[in-house]
Amino acid sequence: MTNQNHTIIIGGGQAGAQACQSLRQFGHEGAITLIGSESALPYQRPPLSKAYMKGELEESRLYFKPHAWYEDNQIDIRLGADATDIDAGAKTVTLDSGATLEYSDLIIATGARPRPLPVPGRQLKGIYDLRDLADVERIRPEMIAGRRLLIVGAGYIGLEAAAVGRQLGLEVTVLERADRVLERVTSPVMSEFFTAEHRAHGVDIRIGAQLEAFEGENGRVTGARLTTGEIIACDTALTGIGIIPNTELAEAAGLAVSNGIVVDENARTCDPHIFAAGDCTVRPLASYRRTGRLESVHNAIEQGKLAAAAIAGKPAPALDCPWFWSDQYDLKLQIAGLSAGFDEIVLRGDPVERKFAAFYLKDGVLIAVDAVNSPPEFLASKKLVQAAARLAPATLADLTQSMKDIAKAALAG
């Protein structure tokens, strides 16, 4: 295939799927090829550690679009294929099959991979990462009531898996080497709340726990040895200690990389014909006057749209403030903005009632909110954060005023 008006997308995750959809929505009539390393159609990842792991969601419901949609929209989707080389000068992509494809524009949406846990015994059977559909397919047969599940890492995925484990009747232990759960992503207030919730549901959360090695018999894991010498018995272990952006292809192609593929406000790299989107990128965070890498559905969707708009010659879509969510038990945590650097926290509601919000201010400006079972606070805060609104702490804490009214007044001013 020649490079005349041919867009290649490397990566079949949220960003790649969004780019396909947006290109056609923006009226792009050129050829599109989507290269996906997995054998499954592009699918949603967030349900993997939630409803899909519990067996409440069929695989087909994970897919963004059915196979017929790609056919109807004349998108050449190549599953189970890996791009092995990008020649930016020749504008070609080489696949592991040896095929070489020419492009006019390229979108790199290679995502990220689990950070490996560098301890002895990591190769034992029964130890899993939790990143893709294949991982969950291997894990689900292990989720049997009464069995002992060990989770290394108390981030969102680790805590979501812990909740699923308890709901399925497993004994669950969570090891976290930091001083609190969710330390990298939220405040001590939220960490304390979720720690208490999990312990109330019977999860054994170990804070400041240092894993020294996995132990096993006949090639299968039987326990985890801590640096204190204590051995925690387990039948299955999940590791979730973060991710590493997949930037190797971009770096080999001569693109700028710094903890992610560096892109501008339109998701364009230093090469005018190469874009990048999703977990693999470092992008401008205009509201925060810095750059950063966002690991979220919001980021993948937004950058997929930005890249597609630039390629199709359409105006860039309006930006939203970063947003995230996590489901644990009957709790829905919804996050708007980035709380790093806050100098004041305002609570609205009572954590004891399991329905509250924590607002994060910096120099009087709202920069983020963590809302637990509080959709109005989340929805209003998305607009307020994006507008860099100044709000009085007493106003935010006042439950006699609705969030809709608070937001209306703040945005009008």
Q: What is the CATH number for 79?
A: 3.50.50.60
Tell whether the model's pLDDT for residue 286 goes beyond 70.
Answer: yes
Q: Is 255 helix (H, G, I), strand (E, B) or coil?
A: coil
Determine the pLDDT at residue 33: 98
- pLDDT tens per residue, range 292-321: 999 999 999 999 999 999 999 999 999 999
Residue 71: burial class (beta carbons within 10 Å; 0-12, 13-18, 19+): exposed
226 and 255 part of one domain: no
Stated as kind and residue range, the H or E segment containing 18 is helix 14-25
Does any domain span residue 334? yes
108 and 248 together in one domain: yes
Same domain, 41 and 10: yes
Q: At what angle do helices 14-25 and 297-312 cross, to 10 degrees?
A: 40
The answer to whether position 321 is within a domain reads no
3-state secondary structure of 98: coil
Domain span holding position 280: 6-113+243-312
Asked whether residue 145 falls in the same domain as residue 55, the answer is no
Q: Is 48 helix (H, G, I), strand (E, B) or coil?
A: helix
What's the pLDDT at 273?
98
pLDDT at position 288 is: 85
Residues 98 and 209 in one domain: no
State yes or no: pLDDT of 29 exceeds 60.
yes
Does residue 224 sit in helix, strand or coil?
A: strand
Total number of domains constituting the chain: 3
pLDDT tens-place string over residues 118-155: 999 999 999 999 989 999 999 999 999 999 999 999 99
Side-chain half-sphere exposure of 46, counting CA atoms within 13 A: 13
Joined together, the tokens standing for residue 297 give 């559905």
Q: Hey, what are 321's tokens?
A: 């403030």
pLDDT at 3 over 70: no
Residue 1's pLDDT band, with cuts at 50, 70 and 90, is very low
Sheet holding 127-129, edge to edge: 127-129, 236-239, 148-152, 171-176, 204-207
In the numeric block, which tokens belong to residue 240?
A: 């979730």
- Identify which of 336, 339, 332 has the alpha carbon closest to the alpha carbon of residue 354: 332
Using a pLDDT cut of 90, give the percent of the chain over it. Answer: 96
Residue 211 falls within a domain, yes or no? yes
For CA atoms 292, 296, 300, 303, give the dihedral sign. Answer: negative
Nearest to 219, CA basis, from 123, 135, 118 = 123
Average pLDDT (387-391) is 95
Mean pLDDT of 379-398: 96
What mean pLDDT do residues 384-400 have?
A: 96
Span 328-346, average pLDDT: 96
Considering only CA atoms, which of 315, 115, 127 is closest in space to residue 221? 127
366 with 304, same domain? Answer: no
Average pLDDT over residues 212-239: 98
- Give yes or no for residue 413 having a pLDDT over 70: no
Q: Is the pLDDT of residue 80 over 70?
A: yes
Say yes or no: 120 and 231 in one domain. yes
- For residues 14 and 304, the answer to whether their CB atoms sit within 8 Å is yes
- In this structure, are 106 and 120 located in the same domain? no
Residues 120, 232 within the same domain: yes
Q: Let me know whether 51 and 30 are in one domain.
A: yes
Query: What percentage of residues in the chain have a pLDDT greater than 70?
Result: 99
pLDDT at 220: 98
Q: Are both 55 and 198 inside the same structural domain?
A: no
What letter represents residue 128's amino acid?
Y
Answer whether residue 90 shows pLDDT above 90: yes
Q: Is residue 165 pLDDT above 70, yes or no?
A: yes
Dist. CA 271–CA 339, nearest whole Å? 32
